[in-house]
């Protein structure tokens, strides 16, 4: 990577972003259905989880520090999440191969969905414009949706505490 590109990337990751949009979905809304592939190339849709509670969490990038902390928080509390009836699904714009490595490296017990075309992000309103150092770009806004057995959103967590994210979810019950 060229030095100037490295500096730009550093500032894009290190300087807080200004969001221009947040999701318009709220508790009581029907969760938008989707079809995607998981880390193993298996087709996954929201409809297949009817009758189960779902934690649908959107995160920016496999193997980044915040995303790893968030995934590990969910991993470390996975037993409690499943005891409370949740199925956990992570979604990012990374591809299946990236997800497979991220899942294996961190021993994640849940599926990661590849949303390379950003269609799920768009349905959930989490592909948003952000500004860093005067540069505007679109990226994932870290957001979690709790979905009930009938497919309705019960909670939207927009201020995700990556290191304690499972606690945020468990505190809603």
* Pair type for strands 18-19 and 127-132: antiparallel
CB atoms within 10 A of CB 46: 19
Catalytic residues: 67
User: Cα dist. 141→6, 18, 22, 86, 167 in Å?
Assistant: 23, 10, 8, 22, 20
Between CA 103 and CA 112 the distance in angstroms is 8
- 15 within 8 A of 132, measured Cβ to Cβ: yes
**Helical H segments across the chain, by residue range:** 3-14, 65-76, 78-83, 96-106, 119-124, 165-170
Q: Which helix (H) or strand (E) holds 140?
A: strand 135-140
Residue 166 tokens, joined:
């499972």
């Amino acid at each position: 990577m060229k030095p100037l590109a490295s500096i730009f990337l550093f500032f894009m990751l290190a300087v807080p972003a200004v969001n221009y949009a947040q999701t318009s979905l709220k508790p009581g809304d029907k969760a938008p259905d989707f079809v995607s592939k998981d880390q193993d190339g298996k087709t996954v849709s929201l409809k297949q989880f009817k009758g189960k509670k779902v934690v649908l969490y959107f995160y920016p990038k496999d193997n980044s520090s915040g995303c790893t902390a968030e995934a590990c928080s969910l991993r470390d509390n996975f037993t409690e999440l499943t005891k409370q009836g949740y199925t956990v699904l992570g979604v990012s714009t990374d591809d299946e191969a990236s997800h497979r490595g991220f899942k294996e490296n961190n021993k994640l017990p849940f599926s990661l969905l590849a949303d390379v075309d950003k269609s799920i992000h768009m349905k959930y309103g989490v592909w948003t414009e952000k500004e860093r150092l005067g540069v505007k770009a679109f990226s994932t806004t870290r957001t979690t949706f709790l979905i009930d057995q009938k497919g309705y959103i019960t909670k939207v967590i927009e201020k995700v505490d990556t290191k304690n994210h499972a606690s945020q979810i468990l505190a809603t019950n």
